[in-house]
Structure 1
Amino acid sequence: MTNDHKPPPLETTIQLPDHTTITKVAAEVETGTMNLGPMITSTKKFSLNYDVMHIILRFVSLAASLISVFVMISAKEKSSILIYGFNLPLYSKWSFSGSFKYLVGVSAVVGVHSLVQLLMTTSRTLRKSSVFSSRNHAWLIFTIDQVFAYVMVSAGSAATGVTNLNRTGIKHASLPNFCKPLHHFCDRVGVSIAFAFFNCVLLAISAVLDVIWLSN
């Protein structure tokens, strides 16, 4: 015996929006009445946080540059050293070394760059504008930050080599450790170099923030 009754068709559980709903959503998107509050709030919060971090970085970088410059240019000292029984007078000053002058010059340029960026960023933040006027502007600042970071590493490394030579002398030669009688001079130079390398880190962080801004 055959069963002529066919099973009833399965009812679908997917319901497409009708024409009225689609038209309403399109109208809201076109007129801007759709609720985009959470998305806009999140974007504004990111922009504000970025601007604040950018301002803090520029301020700290400016302070590090000033400390590095002023500590270095104040590095000078008079003393004496005993070599082969002769008491010889010593006088050391930062300007006697080309590496130290190089470090002062680079730190001064980075300080000017940080000051300009600090003023521009603060001004745009107070006007509630983006920290960068365009993507090309962001790429330009990113490039400058990277270049200054590399140059600062170069200046700090050169100054470190001279300071290390003064502190350790030359092996198998008669050049003594000049940092023993000129310890105040060497200490000031060391502080200046430390702030220069610290500035390298700040510039690298600023470059990373630039990339984050470009990716959003």
Structure 2
Amino acid sequence: MSYLGVGVSPGNVPVYHGTNLKVMERRMRVVELVLRFVICGLGLVAAILVGTDTQIKEIFSIQKKAKFTNMKALVFLVIANGIAAGYSLLQGLRCVVSMVRGNELFSKPLAWLIFSGDQVMAYVTVAALAAAAQSSVFAKFGQPELQWMKTCNMYEKFCNQAGEGIASTLFVCLSTVLVSCISAFNLFRLYGDNKGKSSARW
């Protein structure tokens, strides 16, 4: 039973096919393309904000310079955002070429490669964000029990710019998670198609 290109499975779950399936696939490809360039842009912004973040403070006639390399979590954040931006740029260009040529993703090895890469990027960016967020909390509020002072009181500009980079990384993380969901759908859909074709033969 079908109505306007929408079939109903035995479990009453809508199954799209025909024209509706092509429209849904086209929209997903556009969403994937937008998300990949969002990751590229915001990842680059976050890496630049944190990587160029410095502030010099004079304490008792001694100049002390704060920079992102003083905090390992921020170094990890810069590296993770740089890798995510470069990877997403390559994948975004692949999406553009695929859309221009009108090619569909039918290769299982390529689908597995894209899925694995997207999963790695999602985990890396989430880990970098978590580490940077934890370090920023200590820098903002300190830890009296361990005699860690509130460094953001002295390096306010440095902390503000680092916070902007961490905020950009948050959107990068959300986008990588969404992209990994799309790549998972594209991968397992190939197995679903094959299963459906096999059952049709029987």
Q: So what's the TM-score if we normalise by structure 1?
A: 0.73
Q: Does 1:203 align with 2:176?
A: yes
Q: Is 1:48 matched up with 2:22?
A: no
- Partners of 1:124 and 1:153 lie apart in 2 by 28
Match of 2:85 among 107, 111, 119: 111
CA displacement 1:188-214 (0-9 Å, x = unmatched): 111111222221111111111123323
SS at match of 1:179: helix
The letter for the 1-side match of 2:52 is S
Match of 2:70 among 57, 73, 96: 96
Once the two structures are superposed, residues 88-107 of structure 1 have per-residue CA deviations (whole angstroms, 9 ceiling, x without a partner) of 64320112222211111111
The 3-state SS of whatever aligns with 1:92 is strand
| Alignment partner of 1:139 out of 112, 120, 123 | 112
Structure 2 CA distance for aligned equivalents of residues 89 and 48 of structure 1: 57
In the alignment, what sits opposite 1:19?
Answer: none
In the alignment, residue 99 of structure 1 is paired with which amino acid? A
**Amino acid paired to 1:190:** G
Whole-angstrom CA distance in 2 between matches of 1:100 and 1:79? 20
8 Å CA contact 2:69–2:75 kept in 1: the answer is yes
Alpha-carbon spacing, 1:129–1:173, altered in 2? closer, same or farther (3 Å): closer
- Alignment partners' CA distance in 2, 1:163 and 1:39: 49
Aligned identity (percent) is: 25
Q: Does 1:123 align with 2:101?
A: no
In 1, are the aligned partners of 2:118 and 2:183 still within 8 Å (CA)?
Answer: no
Which runs of 5 or more residues in structure 1 are unaligned?
1-37
Cα deviation per residue 1:23-65 (whole Å; 9 max; x = unaligned)? xxxxxxxxxxxxxxx9532232122112111110111111111
Partner of residue 184, structure 1: 157
CA distance in 2, matches of 1:71, 1:166: 17
Which is worse superposed, 195-204 or 113-122?
A: 195-204
2:21 maps to amino acid? T
RMSD between superposed Cα atoms in Å: 2.1
Residue 165 (structure 1) shift: 1.8
| Larger helix proportion of the pair | 2
